[in-house]
Amino acid sequence: METQVEVRFLSAGIGRVLRKFFRSGSGKMAFVGAVILIVFLLAALFADQIAPYDPTVRSGRTFQPPSSKHIFGTDNLGRDMFSRVLHGAKIALLIAFMAVLIAAAIGIPLGLLSGYIGGPLDRILTLIMDAVYSFPGLILAIAVAAVLGTGVTNIAVSIAVVYAPTYFRVIRNQVASIKSELYVEAARAIGARNWTILFRYVLPNVLPSVVVVLSMNLADAIMTEAGLSFLGLGIAPPTPDWGYDLSNGQRFILMNDWWMIMFPGLAIIVLVLGFSLFSEGLNEYLNPNVGERE
Amino acid sequence: MTLLKVENLVKHFPVRINFVKALFTRERKKVHAVNGVSFEIEEGQTLGLVGESGSGKTTTGRLILKLEEPTAGRIFFAGKEITSLGAEEMRRLRREMQIIFQDPLASLNPYMRIGEAVRHPLVIHSIGENKRRQREMVIEMLERVNLRPAEEFYNRFPRQISGGQRQRVVIARALITRPKFVVADEAVAMLDVSVRSQLLKLMMDLKHEFNLTYLFITHDLATTKYICDRIAVMYLGRIVEEGSFKDIYTDPKHPYTRALISAVPEPDPKAGEKKKKLIPAGEVPNPIDPPSGCPFHPRCPYAKEVCKTAPPKLKELESGRRVACYLYS
Amino acid sequence: MSAGKDVVCRMENFRVYYMTFDGPVKAVDGVSMEVYKEETVGLVGESGCGKSTLGSALLKILPRTARMEGRVYLEGEDLIPKSEKEMQKLRGAKISMIFQDPMTSLNPIMKVKDHFIETIKTHKPEVSEDQALEMASKALAEVGISESRLNDYPFQFSGGMRQRMMIALSIVLRPTLVIADEPTTSLDVIVQAQILQLMKEIQSHIRSSMILITHDLGVVAEMAHRIGVMYAGHLVELAPRDTIYYKPLHPYTQALLESVPNTDINDMELSYIDGYPPSLLNIGEGCRFVDRCPKTMKVCRDRTPPDVEIKEDHMVKCWLYADNVGEVERS
């Protein structure tokens, strides 16, 4: 009677997903992004093991161009740039992840409530979040960082303030539209309480877009963090940090010491690119409403 | 025994107008979706609510289940007035009153497995001792609506099954709490002919098995004859005619009902050629600005002066036969 | 009713496959039929049977993943090898389409008159704007819309009026073949009756041929001279209207007709077809109705039935009527 009955094994399911993933253009994009991210993640996790020198102390002569001893050269204090870039990945990723998690922790619940309850609460929250959102990101982060001072947590918080409204807006708008979906009304009709509806019917349907926003935000957070450190509002030296190294290196640019800014700069660019590719691919994979026929 | 009684139900929706307009006009326009609807349904009977889009039939169904707050009027369920029931009391009552929507895909959470979707009402109303027992009940129900093998369907997502199977899931979810009353809002309208008949048959069988009372909302007169004991025809928020399904089919009184029946294309060329076509000109007027008097008078071939004055009352011609038309007063 | 026998459109073993990662979806598979001058051919079937794909394929307005094979002749010209540019010249002029939902096929920011002017000018650049407007108001008058509405936008029309306008637009250049894809499905039953009446009048007036695609057996009963029944990509039966309704041969046609509700209250039997149509992805040989058919034979599973000519104008794609099947294979 049933014609489409088929047994599904878990492995077969995973295989199907992977196959679909790789055959589409978005899959390749996400794959390249994922490879970049994994490389950086490994670099950050095993920085102590990989780095040939301690990134905070002098390891050779100052202003050495790249050589077999110092493959990224040394800086004005004779520290090994390669080790600094490696350890910088640790700081950059740590702060980015913390910032994004804090932002999500603020933005997602507020967005859910605001969108679902609506009315005056929604208007007030939207107003506040829009006001925050309308500030240029870096300027806002500078202002908050200036108040809070340096340190990993403080930097993460100042970045989170910038991105919380993004989550809020995405979630709120999605919830507001999902709220009028028939399956939400059907849930009401079977007698579900508001909390049940919110967590079992609304939340699962907004989560895919949260994942996408999350990975996109990570790219932004990396840049904002670098920007803060570049301006001297980030991590206190001598902790290795790409933004700080960039600003440190640019003082000597007239001496043609290109390696001091090129490698931290490249690290930022590649990591941001990795996040962007990954999130873009993920986005197309999770929202495949383009070009597919049922 | 009367299971459901509706008295003079009214629902007006405010019309959204843009900000600039709102500054300059004082008048707030309203959509007159439901305009004084009254009817009763006996226990175990099926009332068909028939009408075109904009007739207010869907809104009526939603009002009865309090998915929408009525502007005025009273609703009685099993002898008890439920119009002013609080949210929590209403929530508990939903175990007894269920709805099947038109679009089965849209009415299922895409991220919830079918089995879980059907089990959820049991969880909400704390039916069944534990999860295992609930699971058994779900499996039994899935089998009853012919989703076999039920164990396999339990773990599927709505996207992975066909339209007809989805509607079976929705029916299973609606009936798992053993309700007394079910609103079927165009429940088979989106399905293909062959599948539509399967589902109609299933709904009829379940009606007898579970002793259900249906409010069967549809735009398609032809499907009502298999399942409905009585039919009420709606036009622009009002019931214009009510009677047993046989009366409505063989002896329609209201000019609108006659037009409606004559407009149904017959799947039988010879019968179709024999049938007299009484097609009124024009379309259903905008419910924001319904015509004065009888809502059908601008399109009615028998319209008289009196029809423009006030809407005719729904009058009982004989027992169980009501018509709202000046031709019969 | 007296349809001439001049062939306007002929399909020979016409196939439309949608290419997917998992293989081809055989939406239309081996359809051969003719459309005569001034006649209406109804194409009925359930959703997913390929009837809409077939309609769109005749205008070649399918997504890029679709592959078309076989032959489709429109007034003797094969459409399959034609380029997009050549097709644009034909669309609207020789072959036009009426869609289910006019709103999605009309540009919402273009006035009604601009739609007409654009259509006319594309095919007849020599026509002046005034002449085009005159043609437009004439076409509108034919469908019962006053020319004062030329300056309105499509969204200012009600559903029925919009469909009327769509019809006017599709016939303004007097095409030889009009394809109507579920033209009344989104309309209420009374408006549907109005539009069907109008379509009949217009067709006899402009003397075009029409392929009417619909799932509604009531609509084709009123409109069509001949009816083709489609199931899962196959054209399973093609015959004059009354033959289909009163002497159907294919088991699917028979079952389909029995499961359609009518308004006759003496006929209270509700029968239905068990099961669901098969998935068309990578579907192989064999009759596609085999799993739901009460008369399945062994051969039905193994080999696709041929198009059997019962009479001159009655085709049925079923092994029951093929003489060349040995008794052994039947059992």
Find the closest chain B residue to C217 by CA distance: B267
pLDDT at position B14 is 86
A17 lies in some domain: no
Contact C21 A20 (CB under 8 A): yes
**What is the spatial distance between Cα C74 and Cα C96, in angstroms, rounded to a whole number?**
12
Name the neighbours of C, counting chains with at least 3 Cβ pairs within 8 A. A, B
A138 lies in some domain: yes
Predicted confidence (pLDDT) at residue A4 exceeds the cutoff of 60: no
- CATH number of A156's domain: 1.10.3720.10
SS3 C310: strand
SS3 B295: coil
Contact A19 C21 (CB under 8 A): yes
**What is the spatial distance between Cα B164 and Cα B160, in angstroms, rounded to a whole number?**
12
Looking at the fold, whether C126 and C202 belong to one and the same domain comes out as: no
C40 lies in some domain: yes
A4 lies in some domain: no
Looking at the fold, whether C120 and C164 belong to one and the same domain comes out as: yes
Identity of residue A32: V
Structure tokens that stand for B97 in this block: 């009153």
Better-scored residue on pLDDT, A255 or B74:
B74
pLDDT at position B245 is 87
Looking at the fold, whether C84 and C187 belong to one and the same domain comes out as: yes
DSSP E strand boundaries for chain B:
2-14, 30-42, 46-50, 72-77, 80-81, 97-100, 181-185, 213-218, 230-235, 238-244, 315-318, 321-323
Residue A3 binned pLDDT confidence (cut-offs 50, 70, 90): very low
C302 lies in some domain: no
Structure tokens that stand for B172 in this block: 């299973």
Contact (Cβ atoms closer than 8 angstroms) between residue B152 and residue B68: no
pLDDT at position A79 is 84
SS3 A93: helix
pLDDT at position C282 is 87
**What is the spatial distance between Cα C177 and Cα C74, in angstroms, rounded to a whole number?**
9
Q: How many CA atoms lie within 13 A of A283 on its CB side?
A: 14
Domain span at residue C34 reads 7-94+175-268
pLDDT at position A19 is 57
Looking at the fold, whether C166 and C196 belong to one and the same domain comes out as: no
A292 lies in some domain: no
Q: Which of residues 1-60 of A touch B (CB under 8 A)?
A: 1-2, 4-5
Give buried/exposed letters for C213-243 (b at 16+ CB in 10 A, else e): bbbbbbbbbbbbbbbbbbbbbbbbbbbbbeb
pLDDT at position A60 is 76
pLDDT at position A138 is 84
Structure tokens that stand for B5 in this block: 């009684």
Looking at the fold, whether C182 and C90 belong to one and the same domain comes out as: yes
Neighbours of A84 (CB within 10 A): 31
> Judging by DSSP bridges, how do beta strands C307-311 and B46-50 pair with one another?
unpaired
Identity of residue C219: V
Domain span at residue A70 reads 26-286
How many independent structural domains does chain C possess? 2
Contact A3 C276 (CB under 8 A): yes
pTM value? 0.85
DSSP annotation of C127 reads: S
Looking at the fold, whether C24 and C164 belong to one and the same domain comes out as: no
Supply the ipTM of this predicted assembly: 0.87
C210 lies in some domain: yes
**Which residue out of B69, B96, B98, B111 would a mutagenesis test of the A interface target, given it has the greatest number of A Cβ atoms within 10 Å?**
B111
Strand partners, C73: C10, C78
A3 lies in some domain: no
Last residue of a domain, one of C246, C268, C290: C268
C190 lies in some domain: yes
pLDDT at position A288 is 52
Give Rg (Cα) of chain C: 21
Tell me, yes or no, if A62 comes closer than 8 A to chain B by beta carbon. Answer: no
Contact (Cβ atoms closer than 8 angstroms) between residue C230 and residue C45: yes
Contact C257 B267 (CB under 8 A): yes
Query: Least CB-CB distance to C21: which of A1, A3, A23?
Result: A23
Estimate to the nearest angstrom the gap between the alpha carbon of A29 and the chain centroid. 17
Chain C residues at the B interface, defined by Cβ less than 8 Å, are 46-47, 158-161, 188-194, 196-197, 215-219, 221-222, 241-242, 245, 255-257, 259-265, 268, 270-274, 276
pLDDT at position C235 is 96
C103 lies in some domain: no
**Which residue out of C157, C189, C260 would a mutagenesis test of the B interface target, given it has the greatest number of B Cβ atoms within 10 Å?**
C189
Identity of residue A206: V
Looking at the fold, whether C166 and C18 belong to one and the same domain comes out as: no
pLDDT at position C320 is 92
Could you say which residues of chain C have pLDDT below 70? Answer: 1-4, 324-331
Structure tokens that stand for A171 in this block: 């979630």
Looking at the fold, whether C83 and C42 belong to one and the same domain comes out as: yes
Average pLDDT of the segment spanning B61-71:
94
Structure tokens that stand for B237 in this block: 């928020």
Predicted confidence (pLDDT) at residue A291 exceeds the cutoff of 80: no
Q: What percent of chain B has pLDDT over 90?
A: 66
Contact (Cβ atoms closer than 8 angstroms) between residue C56 and residue C98: no
Name the neighbours of B, counting chains with at least 3 Cβ pairs within 8 A. A, C
Average pLDDT of the segment spanning B94-109:
94
Structure tokens that stand for B102 in this block: 């038109």
DSSP annotation of C281 reads: B
- CATH number of C225's domain: 3.40.50.300
**What is the spatial distance between Cα B311 and Cα B300, in angstroms, rounded to a whole number?**
14
Predicted confidence (pLDDT) at residue B237 exceeds the cutoff of 90: yes
A53-100: pLDDT as tens digits: 777 777 778 787 788 778 787 777 778 888 888 888 888 889 889 999
C25 lies in some domain: yes
Predicted confidence (pLDDT) at residue A6 exceeds the cutoff of 60: no
Tell me, yes or no, if B268 comes closer than 8 A to chain C by beta carbon. Answer: yes
Find the closest chain B residue to A205 by CA distance: B111
A11 lies in some domain: no
Strand partners, B2: B42
Tell me, yes or no, if B164 comes closer than 8 A to chain C by beta carbon. Answer: yes
Query: Least CB-CB distance to C241: which of B204, B269, B284?
Result: B269
Assigned CATH for B2-85+219-328: 3.40.50.300
* Angle (CA) A176 B72 B40, round 5°: 105
For residue A4, the chain B residues in CB contact (below 8 A) are 161-162
> Nearest C-alpha of chain C: how many angstroms from B201?
7
Predicted confidence (pLDDT) at residue A236 exceeds the cutoff of 50: yes
Find the closest chain C residue to A19 by CA distance: C21
Residue A148 binned pLDDT confidence (cut-offs 50, 70, 90): confident
Query: Least CB-CB distance to C46: which of B194, B223, B267?
Result: B194
Structure tokens that stand for C121 in this block: 């000018």
pLDDT at position A9 is 46
Contact B91 A193 (CB under 8 A): yes
Looking at the fold, whether C115 and C263 belong to one and the same domain comes out as: no
Name the neighbours of A, counting chains with at least 3 Cβ pairs within 8 A. B, C
Taking the domains of chain B in order of start, what are their residue ranges?
2-85+219-328
Q: B26: Cβ–Cβ under 8 A, 6 or more apart, which residues?
A: none
Q: Chain-wide mean pLDDT for chain A?
A: 81
B263-317: pLDDT as tens digits: 988 888 988 888 888 888 888 888 888 888 899 999 999 999 999 999 999 999 8
Structure tokens that stand for C12 in this block: 């020979």
Name the H helices within chain C. 51-59, 84-90, 102-105, 112-123, 129-142, 159-171, 189-206, 217-223, 241-246, 251-259, 298-302, 327-330
pLDDT at position C329 is 52
CA C56 to each of CA A203, A226, B244, C122: distance values in angstroms, whole numbers, following the listed order = 39, 55, 44, 20
DSSP state letters, A69-92: SSTT-B-TT--BHHHHHHHHHHHH
> Nearest C-alpha of chain B: how many angstroms from C57?
23
Looking at the fold, whether C188 and C237 belong to one and the same domain comes out as: yes
Q: What percent of chain B has pLDDT over 70?
A: 97
Average pLDDT of the segment spanning B169-187:
95
Looking at the fold, whether C188 and C156 belong to one and the same domain comes out as: no
How many independent structural domains does chain A possess? 1
> Nearest C-alpha of chain C: how many angstroms from B194?
5
A9 lies in some domain: no
> Nearest C-alpha of chain B: how many angstroms from C158?
8
Predicted confidence (pLDDT) at residue A246 exceeds the cutoff of 70: yes
Q: What percent of chain A has pLDDT over 70?
A: 88
Looking at the fold, whether C12 and C128 belong to one and the same domain comes out as: no
A228 lies in some domain: yes
